[in-house]
């Protein structure tokens, strides 16, 4: 815990004042995302009591069953940003197309992309969940962005972060000046700085992957995961497996303690499962800002060319040395 009591809004305002080139209002936009997080956290806390568990009976653009809480979390974002001076376009995992908010133009200069409820298979069993967000600046000052303007490479992000709804609610973000974590103090409804300048260890002892997919992986991925299980005390192996089914929770553990998370491509699905624009890119920037690495197995996530809003990408993310080693195996440069 930081020595001083610093709220999220005060902290982001101070950072904004220190680098005005980032553009005005980013601090207030982050604050507004924090508000959305509080509302989602409140729903999650009471979910078992107010009939909002289970599915809506619909399937989203990704072909996944929509949970009631997915829809509620998405609606909460829409309500919070519909009338806002910060955001002129939004895109969500839950919506096939972006929503352009021309009523907020021209004051609003940012575009917001998000996965409102990450790990939603965890909703019905009181397991951790998350929200992931990515912010980019509209390229044009003199015209409303188009739907295509939301499709951008990870290097263009101006802010990125996540909310983790676990035993406590956390807000973790970067604007390119390090990674900072805040814990929601429920008694006063404020996020307080709890993890300033997070640094990820260069190597960890934990890996997170859905090993049920083992037989669908490439030979290199299989060899890498086998290698992590070899008894080799000197090299700190075998690693322990930690996999919650919530990307945010698994990456958060690794951000704080080191290690590696993988959602690799599969033989008949080389693009993997996770979404580039609102899952992989924001988490990649967070992890890089903390000193780690994020890769597809062959290239840096942040440099992957974005072509579609709901594009998928393999994700290998975590401690720099672990991710580097995984790349060596995946590219066939290392056998054991």
- Which residues contact ligand F6P by CB under 6 A? 118-119, 121, 210, 245-247, 273-274
**Residue with Cβ nearer ligand F6P (8 or 160):** 160
- Taking the complex as a whole, the smallest distance from the CB of residue 118 to ligand F6P amounts, in Å, to 5
**What does the alpha-carbon distance between residue 312 and residue 296 come to, in Å, rounded to a whole number?**
11
Closest contact distance (angstroms) between CB of 270 and ligand F6P is: 16
**Which residue carries 């720099």 as its tokens?**
320
* CA separation, residue 94 to residues 135, 161, 227 (Å): 17, 18, 37
Contacts of 267 (CB under 8 A, 6+ apart): 216, 217, 218
What's the token pair of residue 288?
């890089």
Using the minimum distance from each CB to ligand F6P, give the nearer residue, 76 or 104. Answer: 76
Comparing CB distances to ligand F6P, the nearer of 29 and 249 is 249
Residue nearer to ligand F6P on the CB measure, 164 or 274: 274
Distance from C-alpha of 182 to C-alpha of 193, rounded to nearest angstrom: 4
Rounded Cα–Cα distance for residues 77 and 69 (Å)? 12
CB of 11 to ligand F6P, least distance (A): 27
Q: From the CB of 310, what's the least distance to ligand F6P, in Å?
A: 12
Smaller CB distance to ligand F6P: residue 158 or 255?
255
The angle at the Cα of 40, spanning 165 to 68, to the nearest 5 degrees, equals 105
Return d(Cα 272, Cα 268) in angstroms, integer.
Answer: 9
Min separation Cβ 292 and ligand F6P, Å = 17
Q: Quote the radius of gyration of the chain (alpha carbons, Å).
A: 19
């Amino acid at each position: 815990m930081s020595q001083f009591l610093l709220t999220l809004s005060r902290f982001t305002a101070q950072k904004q004042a220190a680098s005005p080139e980032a553009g005005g209002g980013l601090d207030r936009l982050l604050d507004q995302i924090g508000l959305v997080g509080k509302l989602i956290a409140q729903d999650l806390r009471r979910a078992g009591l107010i009939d909002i568990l289970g599915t809506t009976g619909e399937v989203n653009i990704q072909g996944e069953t929509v949970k009631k809480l997915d829809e509620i979390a998405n609606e909460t974002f829409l309500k919070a940003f519909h009338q806002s001076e910060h955001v002129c376009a939004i895109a969500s995992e839950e919506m096939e197309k972006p929503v352009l908010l021309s009523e907020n133009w021209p004051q609003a200069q940012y575009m917001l992309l998000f996965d409102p409820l990450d790990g939603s298979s965890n909703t019905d069993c009181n397991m951790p969940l998350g929200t992931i967000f990515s912010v980019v600046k509209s390229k044009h000052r003199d015209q409303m962005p188009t739907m295509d303007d939301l499709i951008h490479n990870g290097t263009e992000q101006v802010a990125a972060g996540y909310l983790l709804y676990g035993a406590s609610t956390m807000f973790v973000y970067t604007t390119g000046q390090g990674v900072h974590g805040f814990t929601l103090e429920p008694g006063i409804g404020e996020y307080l700085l709890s993890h300033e300048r997070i640094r990820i260890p260069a190597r960890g002892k934990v890996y997170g992957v859905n090993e049920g997919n083992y037989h669908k992986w490439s030979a290199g991925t299989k060899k890498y995961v086998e290698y992590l299980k070899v008894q080799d005390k000197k090299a700190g192996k075998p690693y322990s497996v930690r996999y919650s089914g919530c990307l945010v929770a698994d990456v958060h553990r690794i951000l704080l303690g080191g290690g590696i998370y993988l959602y690799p491509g599969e033989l008949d699905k080389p693009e993997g499962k996770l979404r580039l624009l609102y899952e992989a890119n924001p988490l990649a920037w967070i992890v890089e800002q903390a000193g780690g690495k994020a890769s597809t197995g062959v290239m840096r996530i942040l440099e992957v060319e974005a072509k579609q809003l709901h594009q998928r990408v393999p994700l290998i993310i975590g401690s720099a040395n672990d991710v580097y080693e995984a790349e060596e195996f995946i590219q066939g440069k290392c056998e054991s």
